[in-house]
Structure 1
């Protein structure tokens, strides 16, 4: 029987990868990846050699589950990676991990960078407790969710796309009222940028840009409304 290892990879800067992650990826007989092109860049950069890659993502995870389980059992070490950061967190893979537990397949984890914890740390908000929402729903579902968590007293963290950030902040302002917010863009990458201020200021900040690019992590302050 094989072994599944969850491997954290950099969220941007490749220098953030751990020695243990490199060792694990080098020893792995099979790597399950969201996007082969992204993982190949990592493998080639660190000269980890020729690797067997198998695509496992949100679109196909349920359809190919039995195939993937058979592959894990037929290989000595299988590594699961996401395109960036820790696999399973707002990424596919929880169902695979659960099935491995059910089948008695050994599981290990190689911790690594996370946009979630990185944004919380740099926000300056107290973060002994927080609510992580992953990627937010849209329109009516978003407004329903915001009304449900309106009174939450700890930081709220979520991922957002560049083309939706202004609308999402506007929805939060209308339902929550004025709050402090941190928006982290392209963390650890060349064009890393942090905005911290009031939500209304954040809306103006992003409206002033011709185009917003990159990956965004948003942290809403636990402070009471102004």
Structure 2
């Protein structure tokens, strides 16, 4: 009987010791997992933060790039518009200068025609100077047509060189006609001068003959 009691107590002690050991191991494992959980969470949070920063940085770079492209487009548009404005002002200024030149030459024609008429009344042959004056009128008429084209030049092109080239082409044509008109008027003036000189010589010769 005593042997059975002692055996039972021994088995109970061993079982209790094993249970205690298992409980302690379970607690250690649980505590280990509990202690590892904050570290894992921190790593997760850090990875999340890094990814968030990367996403934010990528978005920021995209925004900066978009802003730069917008500024570039705006700058290009402003430059093109400024070049168009310059070409247009150049055309307007050139047209004003040429128009003023044509007006002055027309004034010269008016005075020259008055002198031609006087010479004609005096008996001079004014056919040649009148022909030169007519040439000058024709050239001035062509010049006016070219000058009018300045107002209709299309400045919608994006290339400044093309816009300025349009102005130069029109100006060259107008300038050529004005130059020819001036040349014709100079020829008319020389021809008229020769006729007047001839009339004066004839008048002097007649006066001398009369006196004799």
| Shorter-chain TM-score range | under 0.3
| Structure (1/2) with the larger strand percentage | 1
Q: TM-score, normalised by structure 2?
A: 0.16
| Structure (1/2) with the larger helix percentage | 2
Structure with bigger gyration radius: 2
